[in-house]
């Protein structure tokens, strides 16, 4: 995780692009593409962009496809 561990409370940890890339197992440039696309809400603090951990978890849940069972 990054050295900058900003939080509102224990539940709403703010993640940077590196944190998100590690969780989703994608590259940092891909995370920035996802941010621009609006895949999850962004918290802007000046030039910094962060995403709430809960929003990443919600994104993962929305992106999960149901298991397909054969006939």
Cα(67)–Cα(12) distance, integer angstroms: 30
Residue 42: other Cβ atoms inside 10 A: 15
Q: What is the pLDDT of residue 65?
A: 84
Record the pTM. Answer: 0.76
Q: Tell me if 2 is assigned to some domain.
A: no
Q: For every one of its 71 residues, what pLDDT tens digit does the chain have, with 9 covering 90 and above?
A: 555 555 455 568 999 999 999 999 999 999 999 999 999 999 999 999 999 999 999 999 999 888 877 66
Q: What is the pLDDT of residue 21?
A: 98
Q: Tell me if 71 is assigned to some domain.
A: no
- Domain span at residue 21 reads 14-63
Q: Tell me if 27 is assigned to some domain.
A: yes
Q: What is the pLDDT of residue 49?
A: 96
Number of domains in the chain: 1
User: Which residues fall within 8 angstroms of residue 18, CB to CB, at 6 or more apart?
Assistant: 2, 28
């Amino acid at each position: 995780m990054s050295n900058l561990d900003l939080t509102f409370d224990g539940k709403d940890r703010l993640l940077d692009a590196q944190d998100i890339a590690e969780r989703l197992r994608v590259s940092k440039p891909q995370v920035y593409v996802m941010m621009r696309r609006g895949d999850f809400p962004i918290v802007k603090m000046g030039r910094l962009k962060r995403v709430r951990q809960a929003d990443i978890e919600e994104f993962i849940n929305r992106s999960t496809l149901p298991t397909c069972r054969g006939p």
